Amino acid sequence: MTELRTLKVALLGCGNVGAQVARILIEDADTLAARTGARLQLSGIAVRNVNAPRDVELPPELFTTDAETLVKDADLVIELMGGIEPARTLILSALQNGACVVTGNKALLAQDGPTLYEEADKAGVQLSYEAAVAGAIPILRPIRDSLSGDRITKVMGIVNGTTNFILDQMDSTGAQFADALAEAQRLGYAEADPTADIEGHDAAAKAAILATLSFHTRFALENVHCEGITSVTAADIAAAKDAGFVIKLLAIAEKLPAAGTETGGGEGVSVRVHPTLLPREHPLAAVRGAFNAVFIEAENAGELMFYGQGAGGTPTASAVLGDLVSAARRLVLGGPQRTETTTGHVPALPIDAAITSYYIGLDVADQPGVLARIAKLFAEHGVSIEIMRQTIHKEAGSSTESAELRIVTHRASEAALAATVEAVKGLDVINSVTSVLRVEGV
Ligand SMILES: NC(=O)C1=CN([C@@H]2O[C@H](COP(=O)(O)OP(=O)(O)OC[C@H]3O[C@@H](n4cnc5c(N)ncnc54)[C@H](O)[C@@H]3O)[C@@H](O)[C@H]2O)C=CC1
Ligand SMILES: N[C@@H](CC=O)C(=O)O
Ligand code: NA
C-alpha cells in the first residue's frame, strides 16, 4: 500500500467550534485520510491561554500562543478565532504562504472579503467559508456550484441561531429576552459579543455573503439594511400570535425593480435583515430553536429550501471539515481553486425601494366612519389593504371605548408605507400606532 502524503493543518482558536474541529480531526483521522487521499495532521492549535479549561480533552502539546509561526508551516489553515484582528492578518499571511484557508468568520468576510479573495486568487489557493452562513447547512456550495447555471431571484432565510432561539423561547414558553439569550450563550450559539446576534449584525454579514454569491456581485455590510430583535417586545409577540403570525428575524436578498431610486430604472437587489411576521403555517415559521432555514427562488429551479442546525460547535464543525476535505482533495488531485464569480453589476437598492407586505397595529377611537377614513388614506398612498380586523376595548367603569385595528397590506414599497403611516398618525381618531412590522409569505 502506498504511503499517503501528510498535509499539515493549523487550527486558530479553540472555542465552541474550534474544539469540536480538533476533536473530529483526531478521532476521525483515518476516515478523513481515506476520503482525502492525504493524512490531515493537526500540527497545532493557536489559543490565547494554553492552560484555559476546554470542553474537549486534547493533547496539551498541540497548544501554542504563537499563531504566526504555526501558520507559516501549514498546508491548510482553519481560522476559528472570530473577530477582525488578528484573524485578518493571519489569514492573509496563510494565503501569501500558499496555504488554503477555511474560516467561519462572516464578520471578517463581510467587512473585508474582497481583500482576502484577491489574495487567495493571487496565491492560487482556496479560501472556503461554508460554516460562515447557516452553520452546518450546505448553502454556499449549492448556491455557488449547483445553481451556477441558473438565475437566483430571491434568497430569504433564518440565518442566526441565537435570535431564532430567543424569539422561539419567547413565543413558545413566554421566556424573558435576557434569560433566553443567556441560554443561547451557554449552548454555544452566540457570538463572543452577543450584540452582533441580537442587533442583527451577524445576520447582516451572512446576508451580504448570500447576496454576493447569489447575484454574482459584491455586496458589503453597508449595502445591508439591518434591524435586530432588541425592539421586539413580548407584546409584539403576543399580538403576532393572536393574529396568526410568528416573528422571525429574516435575512432577505431579492431582485426588485430599481425604478424611482437613485440607481434609476432596471433592476437592483434589496438586501435586508429585520424582524418579520410570517403566517404560522409558513415553512419558515416551523423553524424552531437554533435551527436555520434558507429559501431560494431561482428562475429555472423554482423554489428550494435548505434546513438544519445553524449554530453550535459540533454542527458548525461539520461544515468546517467539509471545506477542509474539499480543499485538501484539490491539493492532492489538483483542480480549480476559486469557483465563485463576481462578474455581475446589480446595484444594491436602498431600504425605501424594498417591496413587502406590512402589519400595522393601531389604537383608534371607536367612532363611526373611522375605518373608512383610514382605508381612504391607505388607498391615497397606493397601499392596498388585504386584511383589516377590529377589536373593541371597553374600559371597566368607563363609557369610553377604543378599538384595536390590525391591518395587513398587500405588497407595497417601504417609501409608500412610511408615508401612509405618517398620514395615519395625523388623523384625530388615532390614539397610537402600536406596531409596524414587515410581513412575508402572505
Ligand atoms: N458558535 C457557532 O455556532 C458558530 C460560530 N461561527 C464562527 O466561528 C468562529 C468561532 O466561533 P466560536 O467557536 O463560537 O467562538 P469562541 O469565542 O467560542 O472561540 C474563539 C476562540 O478563539 C480564541 N481566540 C480569540 N482571539 C484569539 C487570539 N488573538 N489568539 C489566539 N486565540 C484567540 C479564543 O480564546 C477562543 O478559544 C467565529 O468567527 C464565529 O462567528 C460560525 C458559525 C457558527
Ligand atoms: N452566533 C451565530 C453562530 C452561527 O453563525 C448564530 O447564532 O447563528
Ligand atoms: Na453553512
Positive or negative: CA dihedral 264, 270, 272, 276: positive
For 98, left (φ over 0), alpha (ψ -120 to 50), or beta?
A: left
Condensed to tens digits (0 to 9), the pLDDT of residues 299-334 reads: 999 999 999 999 999 999 999 999 999 999 999 998
In ligand 2, the atom with minimum distance to the C-alpha of 194 is 1
Non-local (6+) Cβ contacts of 336 within 8 A are 330
Positive or negative: CA dihedral 4, 8, 14, 17: negative
Distance CA 165, CA 15 (A): 20
Question: What confidence score (pLDDT) does residue 300 get?
Answer: 98
Residues with CB under 6 A from ligand 1: 13-18, 46-48, 67, 80-82, 86, 104-106, 131-132, 135, 188-189, 191-192, 311-312, 316
Non-local (6+) Cβ contacts of 333 within 8 A are 37
Q: What is the distance in A from the centroid of ligand 3 to the CA of 129? A: 8
State the cell numbers at 224.
445591508
Question: What confidence score (pLDDT) does residue 401 get?
Answer: 77
The segments of the chain whose pLDDT lies below 50 read: none
Positive or negative: CA dihedral 392, 395, 398, 403: negative
- pTM (2 d.p.): 0.95
Question: What confidence score (pLDDT) does residue 166 get?
Answer: 98
- Ordered DSSP codes for 344-385: --PPBPPGGG-EEEEEEEEEEE--TTHHHHHHHHHHHTT--E
Condensed to tens digits (0 to 9), the pLDDT of residues 246-268 reads: 999 999 999 998 876 665 678 99
State the cell numbers at 381.
398612498
What number of other Cβ atoms are within 10 A of residue 378's Cβ?
A: 22
Q: What is the distance in A from the centroid of ligand 2 to the CA of 281? A: 25
In ligand 2, the atom with minimum distance to the C-alpha of 190 is 1
Q: Is 255 a catalytic residue?
A: no
Question: What confidence score (pLDDT) does residue 399 get?
Answer: 63
Condensed to tens digits (0 to 9), the pLDDT of residues 57-78 reads: 999 999 999 999 999 999 999 9
Non-local (6+) Cβ contacts of 143 within 8 A are 152, 155, 210, 213, 214, 296
In ligand 2, the atom with minimum distance to the C-alpha of 132 is 5
* Whether the Cβ atoms of residue 151 and residue 347 lie closer than 8 Å to each other: no
Closest residue by CA, ligand 1 atom 36 = 15
Distance CA 294, CA 303 (A): 11
The residue from 72, 106, 154, 206 that is catalytic is 206
